[in-house]
A and B are shown apart, each in its own frame.
Chain A
Amino acid sequence: MSASFERGYNAFKEVLDAPIASFFSSCVHCGLCAEACLFYTETSDPKYTPIHKLEPLRRAWQQEYTVLGRLAKLVGLAKPVTDAELAEWSELVYDSCTLCGRCSMVCPVGNDIAYMVRKMREGMSAAGHAPEGLVTATKRAIQSGSPAGVKWATVEATIKRVQKEFGFEVPVNRENADYLVLMSSWEILNYPEYLGAVGRILNRAGATWTLAQDAYEATNSGIQIGASDLARELVGRIVGAAEQLKVKCVISPECGHAYTAIRWEGPNLMGRPFGFEVKHILEVLDDLRKAGKLKLKGTLDKPLTYHDPCQISRRGGVYEQPRTLLNQLAPQFREMHETGTLNWCCGGGGGVSANERAESLRLTSFKRKKAQIEELGVKTMVTACANCRVVMEEALEHYHMDIEMLGLTELVAEHLDEGKPNE
């Protein structure tokens, strides 16, 4: 088998649901979504208007599921969706959309455009119009366990480094633990300090935790490319491991889309509720703080700001927790002008960072974040998503900006009060 236009168009018909029908019917063509999209604001090219990115899907809906559209198709008045058109739209659906959902926030009639782009990718990938970079990443994720090709051996190396540096044992495949800790490839490869930080914090809080050999990778390329069958397989690995080890809670790492994948899409893909909780690491940190199990000392006394990862703040609702922590840790914490649920994306979410073809557009779109940082004038930026961090570090280098990036979990671990063991 292989990808084909017929499979793609059939997927359009499959994903068109009541919400999408009502969204398309409600659109008042006001164009507000354009101004909310960094690919439009930084290029001024109207083709990047978010709702326009859905045009083939909209026509499929009209021609398959509406009376007038069907009539028009019957008498040959409708413009059919073609394979060439989908090829043209590949850039709009994959390169110029990070699924950040800022357009969904400003839509005056409440259309969730990001939801529709996600659904449209189902048809695009089945028709063979997903970008090469994402296809490769998805293949690696399915075949080797991680989109970056990270195998368990690499994880073991990281574990050894952490054990050596911090002097505690990293538990693997431990049953009945409170928390199953996941990582993204970026954390395994670029930021091993994340594992060290989580371990220190959880140990200090007296919580039990574990890694799972069958499920160390939290990200889900299947969702980003828009192939639910593959996304289900990837999320199924985590669900399987968590249920086998009988953990109480799975911690989504500092990765935005991983959180969306496990917390929100996961149960829908599996078609059943999970027997465990899923929390983002920031939620866990804030829970521990509330329970008095996270004692901090000292502060980082320099001007800094927080970059909200879209999937965590806007799409995930975790925007108060990082601020509570930062207000405690950083007296000079300042907000960017547009922040929280109306933040601007780093430009590399939704699979864009894995899509080499989109690189120059991604760097152009970063100008929005660049302007925000320059307006604020800080030299340190904290975030809670390893993908945001990698994308921004790369762009900061490209623009010769001397900005230090920090992960919030690490920052918390650095200020952990380890005076005496908890209870």
Chain B
Amino acid sequence: MAHDAPTIAETLRRQGISRRGFLKFCATTASLMALPPSMVPAIAAALEKARRPSVIWLSFQECTGCTESLTRSHTPSIEGLILEQISLDYHHTLQAASGEAAEAAREAAMRENHGKYLLVVDGSIPLGNAGYSTIAGISNLDMLKETAAGAAAVIAVGSCAAYGGLPAALPNPTGAVPVSAIIKDKPVMNVPGCPPIPVVITGVLAHFLTFAALPELDDRGRPKVFYGESIHDRCYRRPFYDQGKFAETFDDEGARKGWCLFKLGCKGPVTYNACATTKWNQGVSFPIQSGHGCIGCSEPGFWDMGPLYKPLSMPIAPVQMMVGAAAAGGAIAGTAMAMRNRAAKKAAQAAHQKVTVDDLEKAK
């Protein structure tokens, strides 16, 4: 467990990672987080000395996609090992224990590392009825409150934990809310995405271990270093957008030539994430590179922002009927008003008395 665990550096070396490889990781992390190069030794020193931090991972209304993403995609990279080397004291999917033993592990970790452990949450919390989602008979809401009480910080992983996600999609039958709607007295960081990029988690973790604090967040609680720029601004297809070259269908000449996917519904212009720079699967590719537009999965409410394949500039709902009715109503009201005003003006013209030079002053 955390108290008698070897340091991260020791573990890594035991896993066959050289010092050189370790330092490379530290440098990459520093550059990813937009930290100055002078910070690399600090990161290395901090990580070398750090004991495996205790992490409690709670999964609420979710699909386990976040876990799949974070634990598998980068294996066996150093990032993956860092994840493995944290003392993951409680995680439904990954832990061997079950039933009462599992809950006992959580309680033990909370007790032993009170005030120091990190709480990672994926999935949203139902407020509609406590019974919609329970673990070991404890409602998600109670478990979150109880576990967060002793946490140093809370990381909401994935769009569900960060913004409510698919469970909160209209009409939101379970009354799902994000972590930030419940936890107000602890630092909460959102790492949205469906799923989020693994390197964001490890980068944030490294930051936390080095500086004992969460990185700078934007107004939506996301680490600025990863969510500071839009997919669109960093997209390698951006020059085609600027030239007005668009793929009109998924199999036309434009699509084959790799032109901009805006007209096919790409949400890149309104999505802030690091996909276009860090990419996925160890930097192999990201959706736009694979020929599909961004669906904006890391933005709040992306699930209710209209069809995935309609361009951003198109209205979400079918509006023809409404527009037609409004136009007809407007035309009738406008005509009536115009006729009335015309009559009023005619009356004023009829009432006009020719102005002579004697009419320029009031009667004395």
Contacts and interface: CB of A to CB of B under 8 A. Distances in A.
Contacts of B337: 67
B341 to A, nearest CB: 5
A143 B357 contact: yes
B106 to A, nearest CB: 59
Contacts of B362: 2-4, 128
B359 A7 contact: yes
Interface stretch (B14-22, B279-287, B347-355): B347-355
Given A3-B361, A67-B337, A128-B361, A227 B355 contact: yes
Nearest to B347: A13
A10 B348 contact: yes
A127 to B, nearest CB: 8
A138 B348 contact: no
A229 B355 contact: yes
**Central interface residue in A13, A16, A143, by most chain B CB within 10 Å:** A13
B360 A138 contact: yes
A179 to B, nearest CB: 31
Contact of A230 (B351, B357, B363): B357
B114 to A, nearest CB: 58
Given A16-B345, A135-B361, A1 B356 contact: yes
B255 to A, nearest CB: 42
B358 interface: yes
Interface in B117-156: none
Contacts of B345: 13-14, 16
Nearest to A13: B348
Given A14-B345, A64-B344, A1 B352 contact: no
Contacts of A130: 360
Q: Which of B337, B354, B355, B359 has the most CB of A within 10 A?
A: B355
Given A10-B348, A64-B344, A65-B344, A2 B358 contact: yes
A126 B348 contact: no
Contacts of B361: 2-3, 128, 135
B352 A2 contact: no
B296 to A, nearest CB: 33
A3 B360 contact: yes
Contacts of A128: 360-362
B333 to A, nearest CB: 8
Contacts of A126: 355, 359
Contact of B349 (A1, A14, A138, A229): A14
A65 B342 CA distance: 9
Interface in A55-82: 64-65, 67
At the interface, is chain A mostly helix, strand, loop or mixed? helix
B353 A7 contact: yes
A143 B360 CA distance: 14
Interface residues of B, number: 20
A225 interface: yes
A274 B359 CA distance: 29
Given A229-B354, A230-B355, A135 B344 contact: no
Contact of B360 (A13, A14, A67, A125): A125
A139 B360 CA distance: 9
A205 interface: no
B360 A135 contact: yes
Nearest to A2: B363
Interface in B273-331: none
Contacts of A139: 357, 360
A333 B307 CA distance: 64
A13 B352 CA distance: 10
A64 B354 CA distance: 22
Interface string B208-226: 0000000000000000000
A185 to B, nearest CB: 17
Contact of A1 (B347, B348, B358): B358
Contacts of A64: 344
Contact of A14 (B348, B358, B359): B348
A3 B354 CA distance: 11
Contacts of A11: 348, 352
B252 to A, nearest CB: 42
Contacts of B356: 1, 229-230
A126 B352 CA distance: 10
A142 interface: yes
B344 A2 contact: no
Nearest to A83: B362
A1 B358 CA distance: 7
Contacts of A2: 358-359, 361-363
A228 B345 CA distance: 17
A4 B356 CA distance: 13
Nearest to B348: A13
Contacts of A4: 362
Contacts of B349: 14
Among B344, B349, B359, B362, max chain A CB count under 10 A is at B359
A67 B337 CA distance: 8
B341 A65 contact: yes
Contacts of A142: 357
A230 B360 CA distance: 10
A9 to B, nearest CB: 9
A1 B353 contact: yes
A4 B363 CA distance: 8
B332 to A, nearest CB: 13
A240 to B, nearest CB: 19
B363 to A, nearest CB: 4
Contact of A225 (B347, B352, B353, B360): B360
Contacts of A10: 348, 351-352
A126 B341 CA distance: 22
A228 B353 CA distance: 12
A165 B41 CA distance: 98
A67 B338 CA distance: 11
Contacts of B358: 1-2
Contacts of A143: 357
Contacts of A138: 357, 360
Given A10-B351, A126-B355, A227 B344 contact: no
A290 B337 CA distance: 52
Contacts of B360: 3, 125, 128, 130, 135, 138-139, 225, 227
Interface of A: 1-4, 7, 10-11, 13-14, 16, 64-65, 67, 125-126, 128, 130, 135, 138-139, 142-143, 225, 227-230
The 9 tightest CB contacts between A and B, nearest first, are A13-B348, A128-B362, A2-B363, A229-B355, A14-B348, A135-B360, A139-B357, A227-B355, A142-B357
9 contacts: A2-B359, A3-B360, A10-B348, A11-B352, A14-B349, A65-B344, A125-B355, A135-B360, A229-B355
